[in-house]
Every structure is written in structure tokens, then in C-alpha cells.
Structure 1
Amino acid sequence: MSAYRKNIQGGIEDVETELVRSLGQRGFGVLGRIAFHEVIEQKIGRKIEPYVRLGVCNPKLAYEALEAERGVGAVLPCAVALRELPEGAVEVAFLRPEEAFVLAVGELNPTLERLASTVEVSLREAVEELEVAS
């Protein structure tokens, strides 16, 4: 299984803010946010590096995907993970949408293939823009 990963210079809060802005320009919003480092510390008293998961969604594309195959809802919204690295950078990662869709429904129909490609291009562009802006 492959994921897209990119290291971006900066702190996690700044990278998250810029990522949300960049995603918004592409029609994506954040439906959920989990700060794993905070939850783990609160629940079991252990510390890890700052680590955030964003559930991001483009409602128009999500609707099209669900119309093509309801089972794809098991992997919506798309998960984007941000992990602070020791060298002053943040790793931004997401599972390739095509692979996520295959996990949810098996073989993809042409509509899901097209949507997966569209989503991946948008997510990659949003992350790549962060490096340019840094």
C-alpha cells in the first residue's frame, strides 16, 4: 500500500494552518481533527511528538463517489496526517485515494477511478504549494 509523504519545513501549527488554507482553495474542508499526541497523553499518560489527523472532504467529489458506490463511504473523509519531525519539519502524509477506495469496495468502476485521481491531484497540489510558500 502506498502513501504520499512530504516533509515541509516549519512547525506543525503553521503547516496545519497553511494546509487547511491550501485545501480550502481546492474545495476541501476539514470535517474532523484528532490531535493524537493530546489524546494519548490524556488517556494513557504517554507522550509522543505532535501528531494530528485531519479528515478532509470535498463535498461535491464525496457526493459523486457515494453516488457511484455507497461502500466508498467507509474511507471518507480522506485522512491527512501531520507529524512533527525532530529536524524542524512536519511530515504530511495521506493514503492514495485509489488505494483507499479499493480497500473499501474492491474493484473500481471508471467513475471512482476518475474521482480518486482528481482527489489525489488536489491533495498533492495543496501539499506541494506549502513547500513553495515556506
Structure 2
Amino acid sequence: MKYEFNKEVKGEFESVKKIVIEKLKDEGFGALYTLDMKEKFKKALNEEFRRYEILGACNPKFAKKVIDIDKNIGLLLPCNVLIEQKDEDTIYVSIVNPSAVINISGNDKIIKLAKEIAEKLERVIKNI
């Protein structure tokens, strides 16, 4: 099982990021935070790096369900979304496959919910 869903998209970074966020919203997810690795590497290491941002995506409905089943499952949340500048007009978008990650919980109820979440995130990738 692949641990991610991914797609290359032609376009400008911020435009693609905006579309990704919109498609996440269409499936009930919000972006809790953005981690800008280019900025972090520049500040911490004084090194240049390509645009590489990680969004922490959360669907509150599903997050509540899985936390109610296992209070420690938060260690595996939220669902990360990677947006990376590949070249001038190509953006690489990748979203974690929760089914691959959540399987380590060993909890059948959570694994079943992870499949539902994975279907939603796979639609996000297909629709960008």
C-alpha cells in the first residue's frame, strides 16, 4: 500500500496551493497550519531551498471519531499535505494515505474510518 496520493500540476505555486485548500474544504478538511520548509531552512541553516510547504489538514468530524476511539491517535494526526515546487511551472502535490499510516494502530474501527478518510483525500488529488 502506498503511503501517499500524489499528482504533478502545471501552474504557479500559490495558485495551486489555493486550489488544494479549496479541494480539501470540498471534502470537509481545513488547513490547520502551513509549515514553510524553505523559510525554516533559510532561518535555521542559512541555506536556500525550493518552495516546499506542508499543510496540516484536518476533518474535525473524522478526527473526533478516531480520538473518541483512541485518545493517543492524535500522534498520527493531522493528515499532511505536501506542496513542492518541482520547476518553474510544475508543482508536486502529495497527500498522506491515512490507511497506510493508521494501520499501525491495529484498531479495526480506526482502520475502517481511515479508509473513508483516504477516499476523500484521494478525491482531493484527483480534483486538483
After TM superposition, the score normalised by the length of structure 1 is 0.87
Per-residue deviation at 1:117? Answer: 1.1
Q: Distance in 2 between matches of 1:48 and 1:7?
A: 19
Q: Which runs of 5+ in 1 are unaligned?
A: none
Question: Residue 6 of structure 2 aligns to a residue in which SS?
Answer: strand
Per-residue deviation at 1:87? Answer: 5.5
Q: Residue 17 in 1 paired to residue 18 in 2?
A: yes
Per-residue deviation at 1:126? Answer: 1.3
Q: Distance in 2 between matches of 1:24 and 1:94?
A: 14
User: Percentage identity across aligned positions?
Assistant: 23
Question: Residue 6 of structure 1 aligns to a residue in which SS?
Answer: strand
1:56 counterpart letter in structure 2: A
Q: Which runs of 5+ in 2 are unaligned?
A: none
Per-residue deviation at 1:99? Answer: 1.9
Corresponding position of 1:128: 126
Per-residue deviation at 1:71? Answer: 2.3
Per-residue deviation at 1:34? Answer: 0.5
1:80 counterpart letter in structure 2: V
Q: Distance in 1 between matches of 2:91 and 2:107?
A: 32
Question: Residue 14 of structure 1 aligns to a residue in which SS?
Answer: helix
Question: Residue 33 of structure 1 aligns to a residue in which SS?
Answer: strand
Question: Residue 46 of structure 1 aligns to a residue in which SS?
Answer: coil
Per-residue deviation at 1:43? Answer: 1.6
Q: CA RMSD in A?
A: 1.4
Q: Residue 118 in 1 paired to residue 116 in 2?
A: yes
Asked if structure 1 preserves the Cα contact closer than 8 Å seen for 2:67 and 2:74, the reply is: yes
1:25 counterpart letter in structure 2: D
Deviates more, 1:18-27 or 1:49-58: 18-27
| Deviation beyond 6 Å, 4+ runs, structure 1 | none
Corresponding position of 1:108: 107
**Pairs within 5 Å for 1:20-59:** 20-59=21-60
Deviates more, 1:85-94 or 1:27-36: 85-94
Corresponding position of 1:78: 79
Question: Residue 101 of structure 2 aligns to a residue in which SS?
Answer: helix
